[in-house]
Amino acid sequence: MDFKPLVTLLAIVNPLAIVPFFIHYTLGFSKAQKQHTILMSSFTAFVVIAVSALLGLKILEFFGISLASFEVGGGMLLLISSTNMLNAQPAEAKPSTHEMEDGAAKAAMGASIAVVPLTIPLLTGPATMSTVIIYAEKAKTFWQLGTLVGYGVVIGLATALCFSLADPIARVLGKTGINVMTRLMGLILAALAVEVMADGLGKLFPLLMRA
């Protein structure tokens, strides 16, 4: 059995590095909300990998979307989130206190954050999707393709484990530490956003890369 795809995916997804973002996005969440967010993020990560393996190329072709265009769009989303994080503010707007009193609104918010931006594009962005599609193209048998989908389960479990350790990390850092970490991660996220957009723009406009 070839474990190279799994090692590659773990290195690219790297859920441990996303823990600071999880802490930031789930500030003020109850224990139940955090657990729901963890489950949603883990399951969504698996779904993204599985769908990319089974239908990735067909979906992109159907909508006429290139991976380069997806990289540019994802990079813009990351850049918007990073500007808020640099000010130690939530990366995306949160409902008002009155809205948060409604249980359905809380659940919807947790699910929304779990999918975007925690899972897409922070955990499973264009790099992950393209990697899965490349390995899916190399799969010669149904068993090999099924194994690649199974690796998505491993990624989901690794994500759940890392995010479950977020509370102990938050207790050690404290509010001040989290704010400092938020600004630092915001800066890193901004740089990542530029890299992602530059890569996508380079593919869309090859002359930019030559320059």
Tell me the per-residue pLDDT of 162-178, one tens digit each, with 9 for 90 and over.
Answer: 999 888 877 787 777 77
Find the helix or strand (DSSP H, E) in which 32 lies.
helix 31-63
Q: Which of 16-20, 28-32, 45-49 has the lowest mean pLDDT?
A: 16-20
Provide mean pLDDT across the span 193-210: 80
Provide mean pLDDT across the span 16-40: 88
**What was the pLDDT predicted at 89?**
58
Q: Could you tell me the two tokens for 127? A: 């790099």
Find the helix or strand (DSSP H, E) in which 86 lies.
helix 67-86
Would you list the domain boundaries of the chain? 4-204
3-state secondary structure of 123: helix
User: What's 165's DSSP letter?
Assistant: T
Q: Could you tell me the two tokens for 147? A: 């194994």
- Residue 83 CA, chain-centre distance (Å), reads 17
**Residue 157 neighbours by CB under 8 Å, 6+ apart:** 42
pLDDT tens, residue by residue, 57-112: 788 788 888 878 877 887 887 788 788 778 765 454 444 444 444 444 445 555 57
Question: What is the C-alpha separation between 183 and 129, in angstroms, rounded?
Answer: 28
Question: What is the C-alpha separation between 187 and 79, in angstroms, rounded?
Answer: 10
Question: What is the C-alpha separation between 38 and 150, in angstroms, rounded?
Answer: 19
Q: How many CA atoms lie within 13 A of 65 on its CB side?
A: 15
Count Cβ atoms within 10 A of the Cβ of residue 67 and give its class: 0-12 exposed, 13-18 middle, 19 or more buried: middle
∠ CA 35-38-42, nearest 5°, is 145
Question: What is the C-alpha separation between 146 and 3, in angstroms, rounded?
Answer: 13
- Residue 116 CA, chain-centre distance (Å), reads 7
Tokens 């590659």, located at residue? 8
pTM (2 decimals)?
0.69
Q: Could you tell me the two tokens for 123? A: 């955990």
pLDDT tens, residue by residue, 121-155: 888 988 888 889 878 878 888 899 999 999 999 99
**What was the pLDDT predicted at 164?**
94
**What was the pLDDT predicted at 93?**
45
CB 37 within 8 A of CB 118: yes
User: What's 28's DSSP letter?
Assistant: T
User: What's 17's DSSP letter?
Assistant: G
User: What's 211's DSSP letter?
Assistant: -
